[in-house]
Amino acid sequence: MVISWAFGDGTASVSDLKDYLYLKKDTIHRINETGLPCFYLAGIHPRNVPPDLKPETIKDILAPYLDDPLCLGIGEIGLENGSYQEKEVLSAQLAMATDVTGRAKVFGIHTPREHKVQITAEILAIIEQFPPYHNSIVVDHCTRETVGKVLDMGLWAGVTLSPIKTSSEELHAIIIENPSHQDRIMLNTDSGNIFYEDLYRFYCSKDSPADLKTKLVKDNALRFYREAMERYEIG
DSSP notation for 40-68: EE----GGG--TT--GGGHHHHHHHHHTS
In the DSSP assignment, the letter for residue 157 is E
pLDDT in tens, the chain (235 residues): 688 886 777 889 999 999 999 999 999 999 999 999 899 999 999 999 999 999 999 999 999 999 999 999 999 999 999 999 999 999 999 999 999 999 999 999 999 999 999 999 999 999 999 999 999 999 999 999 999 999 999 999 999 999 889 999 999 999 999 999 999 999 998 866 778 899 999 999 998 999 999 999 999 999 999 988 887 764 4
Is residue 48 within 8 Å of residue 7, measured between CB atoms? Answer: yes
Query: pLDDT, tens digit, for every residue of 98-151?
Result: 999 999 999 999 999 999 999 999 999 999 999 999 999 999 999 999 999 999
Backbone angle region of 73, left / alpha / beta, with phi > 0 → left and psi within -120 to 50 → alpha: left
The domain 2-234: what is its CATH number? 3.20.20.140
Cα-Cα-Cα-Cα dihedral sign, residues 156, 160, 161, 164 = negative
pTM across the whole model: 0.94
Q: How many CB atoms lie within 10 A of CB 118?
A: 12
188 to 141, 152, 162, 232: CA distances (angstroms): 9, 21, 9, 22
